[in-house]
Structure 1
Protein backbone atom coordinates (compact mmCIF):
# COMPACT_ATOMS: atom_id res chain seq x y z
CA UNK A 1 0.00 0.00 0.00
CA UNK A 2 1.40 3.39 -0.94
CA UNK A 3 1.73 6.11 1.67
CA UNK A 4 -0.24 8.81 -0.12
CA UNK A 5 -3.78 8.68 -1.45
CA UNK A 6 -4.43 8.18 -5.12
CA UNK A 7 -7.53 9.13 -7.09
CA UNK A 8 -8.69 5.50 -6.67
CA UNK A 9 -7.94 4.65 -3.03
CA UNK A 10 -6.64 5.88 0.31
CA UNK A 11 -2.96 5.52 1.11
CA UNK A 12 -1.48 4.01 4.25
CA UNK A 13 -1.30 7.35 6.10
CA UNK A 14 -4.89 8.43 5.37
CA UNK A 15 -6.33 4.97 6.00
CA UNK A 16 -4.22 4.43 9.12
CA UNK A 17 -5.29 7.76 10.61
CA UNK A 18 -8.93 7.01 9.75
CA UNK A 19 -8.95 3.68 11.58
CA UNK A 20 -6.90 5.01 14.52
CA UNK A 21 -9.39 7.86 15.01
CA UNK A 22 -12.37 5.49 14.66
CA UNK A 23 -10.93 3.11 17.26
CA UNK A 24 -10.13 5.95 19.65
CA UNK A 25 -13.56 7.60 19.27
CA UNK A 26 -15.47 4.41 20.01
CA UNK A 27 -13.02 3.41 22.75
CA UNK A 28 -13.30 6.80 24.45
CA UNK A 29 -17.07 6.70 24.17
CA UNK A 30 -17.18 3.26 25.78
CA UNK A 31 -14.80 4.26 28.54
CA UNK A 32 -16.71 7.50 29.16
CA UNK A 33 -20.01 5.63 29.31
CA UNK A 34 -18.48 3.16 31.78
CA UNK A 35 -16.77 5.67 34.05
CA UNK A 36 -19.72 7.98 34.74
CA UNK A 37 -21.22 5.38 37.07
CA UNK A 38 -18.03 4.60 39.01
CA UNK A 39 -18.12 5.17 42.74
CA UNK A 40 -15.36 6.71 44.81
CA UNK A 41 -14.22 3.31 46.11
CA UNK A 42 -13.96 1.70 42.68
CA UNK A 43 -10.35 1.07 41.64
CA UNK A 44 -11.06 2.69 38.23
CA UNK A 45 -12.52 5.88 39.78
CA UNK A 46 -9.31 7.90 39.23
CA UNK A 47 -7.63 5.78 36.56
CA UNK A 48 -10.47 5.71 34.00
CA UNK A 49 -10.81 9.52 33.78
CA UNK A 50 -7.00 9.86 33.57
CA UNK A 51 -6.89 7.41 30.64
CA UNK A 52 -9.92 9.07 29.03
CA UNK A 53 -8.39 12.55 29.26
CA UNK A 54 -4.95 11.40 28.12
CA UNK A 55 -6.25 9.58 25.06
CA UNK A 56 -8.58 12.52 24.32
CA UNK A 57 -5.65 14.98 24.26
CA UNK A 58 -3.60 12.64 22.06
CA UNK A 59 -6.60 12.13 19.79
CA UNK A 60 -6.91 15.89 19.38
CA UNK A 61 -3.33 15.96 18.05
CA UNK A 62 -4.06 13.03 15.72
CA UNK A 63 -7.23 14.70 14.39
CA UNK A 64 -5.32 17.93 13.71
CA UNK A 65 -2.64 15.86 11.94
CA UNK A 66 -5.37 14.07 9.99
CA UNK A 67 -6.94 17.35 8.90
CA UNK A 68 -3.54 18.69 7.79
CA UNK A 69 -2.87 15.47 5.88
CA UNK A 70 -6.32 15.64 4.29
CA UNK A 71 -5.63 19.16 3.00
CA UNK A 72 -2.08 18.30 1.85
CA UNK A 73 -2.92 15.03 0.10
CA UNK A 74 -5.29 14.26 -2.74
CA UNK A 75 -8.70 12.78 -1.95
CA UNK A 76 -9.90 9.71 -3.83
CA UNK A 77 -12.59 10.56 -6.38
CA UNK A 78 -16.14 9.38 -5.76
CA UNK A 79 -17.00 6.18 -7.58
CA UNK A 80 -18.93 6.57 -10.81
CA UNK A 81 -21.73 4.46 -9.31
CA UNK A 82 -22.34 6.99 -6.50
CA UNK A 83 -25.32 9.30 -6.93
CA UNK A 84 -25.04 13.05 -6.39
CA UNK A 85 -26.99 12.59 -3.16
CA UNK A 86 -24.49 9.99 -1.90
CA UNK A 87 -21.50 12.17 -2.77
CA UNK A 88 -23.03 15.27 -1.15
CA UNK A 89 -24.23 13.43 1.96
CA UNK A 90 -20.79 11.83 2.40
CA UNK A 91 -19.12 15.25 2.24
CA UNK A 92 -21.59 16.77 4.69
CA UNK A 93 -21.20 13.79 7.04
CA UNK A 94 -17.41 14.12 6.99
CA UNK A 95 -17.60 17.83 7.83
CA UNK A 96 -19.94 17.08 10.75
CA UNK A 97 -17.76 14.19 11.94
CA UNK A 98 -14.78 16.53 12.18
CA UNK A 99 -16.83 19.30 13.82
CA UNK A 100 -18.29 16.89 16.37
CA UNK A 101 -14.87 15.39 17.15
CA UNK A 102 -13.35 18.83 17.70
CA UNK A 103 -16.36 19.92 19.78
CA UNK A 104 -16.22 16.77 21.92
CA UNK A 105 -12.48 17.07 22.53
CA UNK A 106 -12.57 20.81 23.24
CA UNK A 107 -15.49 20.48 25.65
CA UNK A 108 -13.76 17.53 27.35
CA UNK A 109 -10.66 19.66 27.80
CA UNK A 110 -12.79 22.49 29.24
CA UNK A 111 -14.43 20.10 31.72
CA UNK A 112 -11.02 18.92 32.88
CA UNK A 113 -9.52 22.39 33.20
CA UNK A 114 -12.55 24.20 34.65
CA UNK A 115 -10.82 24.47 38.03
CA UNK A 116 -7.72 26.06 36.47
CA UNK A 117 -5.59 22.91 36.57
CA UNK A 118 -3.91 21.36 33.55
CA UNK A 119 -4.39 17.91 32.05
CA UNK A 120 -1.64 15.34 32.68
CA UNK A 121 -1.24 13.12 29.63
CA UNK A 122 -0.11 9.66 30.86
CA UNK A 123 2.39 11.46 33.11
CA UNK A 124 4.40 12.31 29.94
CA UNK A 125 3.51 16.00 29.85
CA UNK A 126 0.85 18.45 30.99
CA UNK A 127 -1.48 20.57 28.88
CA UNK A 128 -2.15 23.74 30.89
CA UNK A 129 -5.53 25.36 31.37
CA UNK A 130 -6.03 28.24 28.97
CA UNK A 131 -9.12 29.57 30.74
CA UNK A 132 -8.29 29.51 34.42
CA UNK A 133 -11.27 29.21 36.72
CA UNK A 134 -14.59 30.06 35.12
CA UNK A 135 -17.73 29.57 37.15
CA UNK A 136 -20.11 26.90 35.74
CA UNK A 137 -17.77 26.13 32.82
CA UNK A 138 -17.61 22.49 33.87
CA UNK A 139 -21.41 22.18 33.78
CA UNK A 140 -21.84 23.89 30.40
CA UNK A 141 -18.89 22.05 28.84
CA UNK A 142 -20.23 18.81 30.33
CA UNK A 143 -23.57 19.25 28.57
CA UNK A 144 -21.84 20.10 25.29
CA UNK A 145 -19.52 17.10 25.70
CA UNK A 146 -22.40 14.74 26.44
CA UNK A 147 -24.47 15.72 23.40
CA UNK A 148 -21.49 16.08 21.04
CA UNK A 149 -20.22 12.59 21.88
CA UNK A 150 -23.63 10.98 21.42
CA UNK A 151 -24.08 12.79 18.10
CA UNK A 152 -20.55 11.83 17.05
CA UNK A 153 -20.99 8.15 17.81
CA UNK A 154 -24.42 8.13 16.15
CA UNK A 155 -23.08 9.77 12.99
CA UNK A 156 -19.97 7.55 12.99
CA UNK A 157 -22.20 4.46 13.27
CA UNK A 158 -24.31 5.74 10.36
CA UNK A 159 -21.08 6.35 8.41
CA UNK A 160 -20.01 2.76 9.09
CA UNK A 161 -23.42 1.39 8.12
CA UNK A 162 -23.28 3.33 4.85
CA UNK A 163 -19.87 1.79 4.10
CA UNK A 164 -21.25 -1.69 4.86
CA UNK A 165 -24.28 -0.97 2.63
CA UNK A 166 -21.92 -0.02 -0.22
CA UNK A 167 -19.94 -3.21 0.36
CA UNK A 168 -22.77 -5.70 0.88
CA UNK A 169 -25.68 -4.27 -1.15
CA UNK A 170 -24.10 -2.12 -3.86
CA UNK A 171 -21.03 -4.38 -4.07
CA UNK A 172 -18.80 -1.43 -4.89
CA UNK A 173 -15.29 -0.54 -3.72
CA UNK A 174 -16.23 2.21 -1.25
CA UNK A 175 -15.14 0.24 1.83
CA UNK A 176 -12.27 -1.59 0.13
CA UNK A 177 -10.63 1.73 -0.78
CA UNK A 178 -9.85 2.47 2.87
CA UNK A 179 -8.92 -1.07 3.91
CA UNK A 180 -5.35 -2.39 3.81
CA UNK A 181 -4.39 -3.54 0.30
CA UNK A 182 -4.21 -7.22 1.28
CA UNK A 183 -7.90 -7.12 2.25
CA UNK A 184 -9.11 -5.60 -0.99
CA UNK A 185 -10.68 -7.57 -3.81
CA UNK A 186 -8.21 -9.06 -6.28
Structure 2
Protein backbone atom coordinates (compact mmCIF):
# COMPACT_ATOMS: atom_id res chain seq x y z
CA UNK A 1 0.00 0.00 0.00
CA UNK A 2 1.26 3.44 -0.89
CA UNK A 3 2.40 5.59 2.02
CA UNK A 4 0.40 8.85 2.24
CA UNK A 5 2.21 12.16 1.94
CA UNK A 6 2.78 13.66 5.36
CA UNK A 7 2.27 17.26 6.33
CA UNK A 8 5.23 17.92 8.62
CA UNK A 9 5.57 20.80 11.07
CA UNK A 10 8.72 21.98 9.35
CA UNK A 11 11.19 21.15 6.63
CA UNK A 12 13.78 18.45 7.17
CA UNK A 13 17.52 19.20 7.13
CA UNK A 14 17.96 17.73 3.64
CA UNK A 15 15.11 19.85 2.28
CA UNK A 16 16.67 22.95 3.84
CA UNK A 17 20.13 22.10 2.51
CA UNK A 18 18.72 21.54 -0.99
CA UNK A 19 16.82 24.85 -0.85
CA UNK A 20 19.94 26.85 0.02
CA UNK A 21 22.22 24.89 -2.32
CA UNK A 22 19.89 25.54 -5.25
CA UNK A 23 19.49 29.20 -4.25
CA UNK A 24 23.26 29.68 -4.11
CA UNK A 25 23.78 27.90 -7.40
CA UNK A 26 21.10 30.00 -9.12
CA UNK A 27 22.89 33.15 -7.96
CA UNK A 28 26.19 31.72 -9.21
CA UNK A 29 24.57 31.04 -12.60
CA UNK A 30 23.72 34.72 -12.95
CA UNK A 31 27.42 35.53 -12.52
CA UNK A 32 28.45 32.87 -15.04
CA UNK A 33 25.97 33.85 -17.74
CA UNK A 34 28.33 36.11 -19.71
CA UNK A 35 31.01 33.51 -20.57
CA UNK A 36 28.45 30.89 -21.59
CA UNK A 37 26.73 33.39 -23.90
CA UNK A 38 30.06 34.15 -25.59
CA UNK A 39 30.83 30.43 -25.88
CA UNK A 40 27.36 29.64 -27.25
CA UNK A 41 27.55 32.40 -29.86
CA UNK A 42 30.98 31.17 -30.97
CA UNK A 43 29.70 27.61 -31.16
CA UNK A 44 26.71 28.65 -33.25
CA UNK A 45 29.02 30.57 -35.60
CA UNK A 46 31.04 27.39 -36.16
CA UNK A 47 34.05 28.52 -34.14
CA UNK A 48 35.65 27.08 -31.07
CA UNK A 49 33.07 27.45 -28.31
CA UNK A 50 35.62 27.97 -25.56
CA UNK A 51 38.11 30.84 -25.82
CA UNK A 52 40.96 30.93 -23.33
CA UNK A 53 41.33 29.08 -20.09
CA UNK A 54 39.29 31.41 -17.88
CA UNK A 55 36.42 31.84 -20.37
CA UNK A 56 36.36 28.11 -20.99
CA UNK A 57 36.41 27.28 -17.30
CA UNK A 58 33.59 29.73 -16.57
CA UNK A 59 31.47 28.51 -19.50
CA UNK A 60 32.01 24.90 -18.43
CA UNK A 61 31.16 25.83 -14.84
CA UNK A 62 27.86 27.29 -16.06
CA UNK A 63 26.99 23.97 -17.74
CA UNK A 64 28.03 21.91 -14.71
CA UNK A 65 26.23 24.10 -12.18
CA UNK A 66 23.09 24.21 -14.34
CA UNK A 67 23.09 20.42 -14.62
CA UNK A 68 23.61 20.16 -10.86
CA UNK A 69 20.63 22.43 -10.23
CA UNK A 70 18.49 20.10 -12.32
CA UNK A 71 19.65 17.01 -10.38
CA UNK A 72 19.09 18.72 -7.02
CA UNK A 73 15.68 19.98 -8.17
CA UNK A 74 14.60 16.42 -8.97
CA UNK A 75 15.77 15.31 -5.52
CA UNK A 76 14.02 18.25 -3.86
CA UNK A 77 10.75 17.61 -5.68
CA UNK A 78 10.91 13.89 -4.83
CA UNK A 79 11.33 14.77 -1.15
CA UNK A 80 8.45 17.22 -1.30
CA UNK A 81 6.19 14.62 -2.93
CA UNK A 82 7.11 11.87 -0.47
CA UNK A 83 7.63 13.83 2.75
CA UNK A 84 5.24 16.68 2.11
CA UNK A 85 5.64 20.31 3.06
CA UNK A 86 4.42 22.15 6.11
CA UNK A 87 1.19 24.12 5.78
CA UNK A 88 1.37 27.89 5.34
CA UNK A 89 2.48 29.74 8.44
CA UNK A 90 -0.20 31.73 10.14
CA UNK A 91 -1.10 34.47 10.65
CA UNK A 92 -1.14 35.58 7.04
CA UNK A 93 -3.99 36.85 4.87
CA UNK A 94 -5.40 34.32 2.41
CA UNK A 95 -4.11 36.35 -0.53
CA UNK A 96 -0.55 36.12 0.85
CA UNK A 97 -0.90 32.35 1.23
CA UNK A 98 -2.21 32.10 -2.35
CA UNK A 99 0.63 34.26 -3.70
CA UNK A 100 3.10 32.03 -1.84
CA UNK A 101 1.64 28.86 -3.35
CA UNK A 102 1.70 30.31 -6.87
CA UNK A 103 5.25 31.60 -6.36
CA UNK A 104 6.46 28.17 -5.21
CA UNK A 105 4.84 26.47 -8.18
CA UNK A 106 6.53 28.97 -10.52
CA UNK A 107 9.88 28.59 -8.73
CA UNK A 108 9.77 24.82 -9.18
CA UNK A 109 8.89 25.35 -12.84
CA UNK A 110 11.84 27.68 -13.33
CA UNK A 111 14.38 25.48 -11.52
CA UNK A 112 13.49 22.73 -14.00
CA UNK A 113 12.90 24.82 -17.11
CA UNK A 114 16.05 26.95 -16.94
CA UNK A 115 18.52 24.03 -16.85
CA UNK A 116 16.56 22.07 -19.46
CA UNK A 117 16.41 24.97 -21.93
CA UNK A 118 20.09 25.75 -21.31
CA UNK A 119 21.18 22.15 -21.86
CA UNK A 120 19.02 21.79 -24.97
CA UNK A 121 20.46 25.04 -26.33
CA UNK A 122 24.05 23.92 -25.73
CA UNK A 123 23.95 20.25 -26.71
CA UNK A 124 21.48 20.56 -29.61
CA UNK A 125 22.69 24.00 -30.75
CA UNK A 126 19.15 25.32 -30.54
CA UNK A 127 18.66 29.04 -31.03
CA UNK A 128 15.05 28.60 -29.95
CA UNK A 129 16.02 27.02 -26.62
CA UNK A 130 18.76 29.62 -26.13
CA UNK A 131 16.32 32.44 -26.80
CA UNK A 132 13.80 30.98 -24.36
CA UNK A 133 16.53 30.43 -21.78
CA UNK A 134 17.67 34.04 -22.08
CA UNK A 135 14.16 35.46 -22.08
CA UNK A 136 13.15 33.44 -18.98
CA UNK A 137 16.14 34.81 -17.06
CA UNK A 138 14.48 38.12 -16.15
CA UNK A 139 11.12 36.77 -14.93
CA UNK A 140 13.09 34.20 -12.92
CA UNK A 141 15.22 36.92 -11.32
CA UNK A 142 12.08 38.89 -10.43
CA UNK A 143 10.47 35.78 -8.98
CA UNK A 144 13.55 34.96 -6.88
CA UNK A 145 13.71 38.54 -5.56
CA UNK A 146 9.97 38.45 -4.85
CA UNK A 147 10.38 35.15 -3.03
CA UNK A 148 13.06 36.62 -0.78
CA UNK A 149 11.07 39.80 -0.14
CA UNK A 150 7.97 37.73 0.58
CA UNK A 151 9.81 35.64 3.16
CA UNK A 152 11.06 38.81 4.87
CA UNK A 153 7.58 40.37 4.83
CA UNK A 154 6.06 37.25 6.37
CA UNK A 155 8.78 37.25 9.02
CA UNK A 156 8.76 40.95 9.86
CA UNK A 157 5.17 42.04 9.13
CA UNK A 158 3.07 38.96 9.86
CA UNK A 159 5.58 37.60 12.40
CA UNK A 160 5.05 34.00 11.37
CA UNK A 161 7.52 31.12 11.07
CA UNK A 162 7.89 31.00 7.27
CA UNK A 163 11.50 32.16 7.21
CA UNK A 164 12.49 30.27 10.37
CA UNK A 165 11.29 26.99 8.87
CA UNK A 166 13.81 27.32 6.04
CA UNK A 167 16.64 28.14 8.43
CA UNK A 168 16.10 25.44 11.05
CA UNK A 169 14.87 21.87 10.62
CA UNK A 170 11.44 21.05 11.96
CA UNK A 171 10.58 18.23 14.32
CA UNK A 172 11.66 15.40 14.28
CA UNK A 173 11.70 13.72 10.88
CA UNK A 174 14.97 13.70 8.97
CA UNK A 175 14.36 14.12 5.31
**Normalised by the shorter chain, which TM-score bucket?**
0.7 to 0.9
Other structure's SS at 1:172 match:
coil
Query: What are structure 1's unaligned runs of at least 5 residues?
Result: 116-136, 182-186
- 2:68 aligns to what? 58
For the aligned residues, what is the CA RMSD? 2.2
d(CA) in 1 for partners of 2:83 and 2:9?
13
1:11 corresponds to 2:21: no
TM-score (norm. length: structure 2):
0.79
Other structure's SS at 1:175 match:
helix
1:155 corresponds to 2:143: yes
TM-score (norm. length: structure 1):
0.75
Larger relative helix fraction: 2
d(CA) in 1 for partners of 2:153 and 2:120?
37
d(CA) in 2 for partners of 1:37 and 1:106?
19
1:91 corresponds to 2:79: no
- 1:112 aligns to what? 122
| Equivalent pair of 2:103/2:143 in contact (CA under 8 Å) | yes
Number of equivalenced pairs: 155
Question: Which of 58, 64, 73 lines up with 1:48 in the alignment?
Answer: 58
Give the C-alpha shift of residue 87 in structure 1: 1.3
Give the C-alpha shift of residue 80 in structure 1: 2.7
Query: What are structure 2's unaligned runs of at least 5 residues?
Result: 1-5, 43-49, 170-175
d(CA) in 2 for partners of 1:159 and 1:68?
21
1:103 corresponds to 2:113: yes
Other structure's SS at 2:162 match:
coil
Q: Which has the higher contact order (CA 8 A, sep 6+)?
A: 2
Distance change (3 Å), C-alpha of 1:56 and 1:140 = same
d(CA) in 1 for partners of 2:38 and 2:78?
37
Structure 1, residues 16-39: CA drift from partner, whole Å, max 9, x if none?
111111111111122114654689
Distance change (3 Å), C-alpha of 1:17 and 1:169 = same
1:74 corresponds to 2:84: yes
